[in-house]
């Protein structure tokens, strides 16, 4: 069969548990991303860098760190890997080789990501997913055991690199240490300049957006994102092959998955957070070593969340909530970009200009409001259309044929 004559699966053929989990993840990532939208970037890693860090604001940061930081993005990476296997199997069952379509999908995703990063927000993850997805595709036929071993080994690499950088810091040139310190704990002059940039017009923001986007796609990619995302994608492939993501395993299995993940994950994350507070969030400790507890803890918490969502999908409870989350998940690409459009409009100077003016207690209220909007938008959109607008565009470009988008069309 020619790929241009192939029609993607219908909504009725979708795996609800995967859509629910994806919807859960795309909403959850905003909990942390909003800090990067609304405050100077240094405050994301070092909460002492900017804003009030006392009382309710401190408590909100701690809760968000424990429950959200890197956890939801880890779920996304796992689902992306699972999606590669799922799409390949669907195509191969129709006698179509998936290679060409997959690499077109990744090429267009990378283009979307580059536009997102350089025109809207430097914190884009789509470019990383596209690049790593090109590599991960080569592993799609490996056994679950191989995928888990290789995936786990890849995840160790950023951990070792962080230990190396932490160990080597005393040997860095003084100039390098001072430059890094300015990024970790910027002075008032740097902060004021950053605020001026993002409270200015769209063109003004390029001064900060472009260098940060380049850093995310080069240094951060090779030191961190490449290995972790690659490893989690392979684990996602294994999880799909083991029926973990399709809610087909036993209730006992998912309950064990949830309990072990929560106990181990939250212990590591909370212990690491306490250590960072005890050391005063210093550059020497917190920039590298201080992140490693959350690095590992977030993976266990991610597994726990997967177990919890699968338990919900197996049960007959919360059917309304599951349908709403599934709608968000089916439009995850659209909702991810929509979050950027809403947040940059709220915080940046070409919109309402609230950048640096809203503390963490106010940020979380905005998160709740955006969640409500995304859920309602997704639910009502899918009453009339097969795909979200960006999902439709991505599919049409990848299949080199306009896909029918209306539900009553063929």
Question: Which residue is listed with tokens 């919109």?
Answer: 351
Q: Which residues contact 231 (CB under 8 A, 6 or more apart)?
A: 150, 151, 152, 153, 154, 155
Tell which residue, 399, 369, 247, 328, has the closest CA to residue 19.
Answer: 328
Q: How confident is the model at residue 11 (pLDDT cuts 50, 70, 90)?
A: low
Reduce the DSSP state of residue 167 to 3 states and report it: helix
Residue 48 has a CB neighbour count (10 Å cut-off) of 16
Lowest model confidence (mean pLDDT) among 96-110, 269-283, 395-409: 395-409
Above 60 in pLDDT, residue 235?
yes
- Helix 292-314, helix 251-278: angle, nearest 10: 150
H/E stretch holding 244 reads: none
Q: How much is the pLDDT for 407?
A: 81
Q: How confident is the model at residue 12 (pLDDT cuts 50, 70, 90)?
A: low
Q: How confident is the model at residue 404 (pLDDT cuts 50, 70, 90)?
A: confident
Question: Which residue is listed with tokens 């490996």?
Answer: 142
Q: How confident is the model at residue 317 (pLDDT cuts 50, 70, 90)?
A: confident
Mean pLDDT of 290-314: 97
Q: What is the residue-averaged pLDDT of the chain?
A: 94
CA distances, 126 to each of 117, 189, 202, 245, 333 (Å)? 9, 32, 21, 22, 9
Task: Indicate the domain borders of the chain.
Answer: 14-399
Above 70 in pLDDT, residue 9?
no
What secondary structure letter does DSSP report for 291? G
Q: How much is the pLDDT for 43?
A: 93
In DSSP notation, 10-72 reads: PGGGS-HHHHHHHHHHHHHHHHHHHHHHHS-THHHH-TTSSS--SHHHHHHHHHHHHHTTTHH
Above 70 in pLDDT, residue 410?
no
Structure confidence by residue, pLDDT tens digits, 346-400: 999 999 999 999 999 999 999 999 999 999 999 999 999 999 999 999 999 999 9
Tell which residue, 73, 186, 162, has the closest CA to residue 125.
Answer: 73
Q: Which residues contact 254 (CB under 8 A, 6 or more apart)?
A: 247, 307, 308, 310, 311, 314
């Amino acid at each position: 069969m020619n790929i241009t004559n192939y029609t993607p699966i219908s909504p009725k053929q979708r795996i609800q548990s995967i859509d629910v989990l994806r919807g859960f993840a795309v909403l959850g990532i905003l909990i942390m991303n909003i800090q990067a939208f609304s405050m100077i970037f240094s405050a994301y890693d070092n909460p002492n860098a900017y804003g009030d860090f006392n009382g309710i604001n401190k408590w909100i940061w701690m809760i968000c760190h424990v429950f959200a930081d890197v956890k939801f993005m880890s779920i996304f990476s796992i689902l992306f890997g699972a999606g590669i296997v799922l799409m390949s199997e669907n195509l191969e069952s129709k006698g179509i080789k998936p290679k060409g379509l997959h690499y077109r999908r990744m090429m267009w995703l990378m283009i979307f990501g580059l536009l997102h990063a350089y025109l809207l927000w430097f914190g884009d993850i789509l470019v990383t997913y596209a690049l790593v997805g090109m590599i991960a595709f080569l592993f799609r036929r490996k056994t679950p055991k191989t995928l888990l071993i290789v995936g786990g080994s890849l995840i160790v690499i950023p951990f070792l690199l962080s230990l190396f950088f932490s160990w080597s810091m005393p040997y860095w040139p003084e100039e390098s240490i001072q430059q890094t310190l300015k990024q970790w704990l910027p002075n008032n002059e740097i902060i004021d300049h950053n605020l001026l940039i993002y409270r200015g017009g769209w063109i003004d923001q390029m001064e900060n957006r472009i260098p940060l986007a380049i850093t995310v796609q080069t240094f951060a990619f090779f030191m961190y994102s490449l290995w972790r995302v690659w490893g989690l994608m392979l684990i996602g492939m294994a999880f799909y092959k083991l029926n973990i993501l399709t809610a087909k395993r036993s209730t006992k299995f998912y309950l064990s998955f949830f309990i072990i993940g929560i106990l181990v994950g939250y212990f590591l994350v909370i212990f690491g957070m306490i250590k960072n507070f005890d050391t005063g969030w210093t550059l020497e400790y917190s920039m590298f070593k201080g992140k490693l507890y959350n690095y590992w803890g977030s993976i266990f918490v991610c597994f726990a969340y997967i177990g919890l969502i699968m338990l919900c999908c197996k049960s007959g409870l919360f059917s309304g909530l599951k349908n709403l989350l599934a709608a968000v998940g089916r439009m995850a690409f659209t909702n991810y970009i929509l979050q950027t459009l809403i947040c940059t409009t709220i915080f940046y100077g070409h919109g309402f200009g609230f950048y640096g003016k809203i503390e963490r207690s106010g940020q979380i209220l905005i998160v709740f409001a955006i969640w409500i909007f995304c859920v309602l938008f997704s639910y009502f959109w899918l009453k009339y259309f097969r795909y979200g607008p960006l999902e439709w565009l991505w599919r049409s470009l990848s299949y080199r044929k306009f896909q029918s988008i209306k539900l009553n069309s063929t």
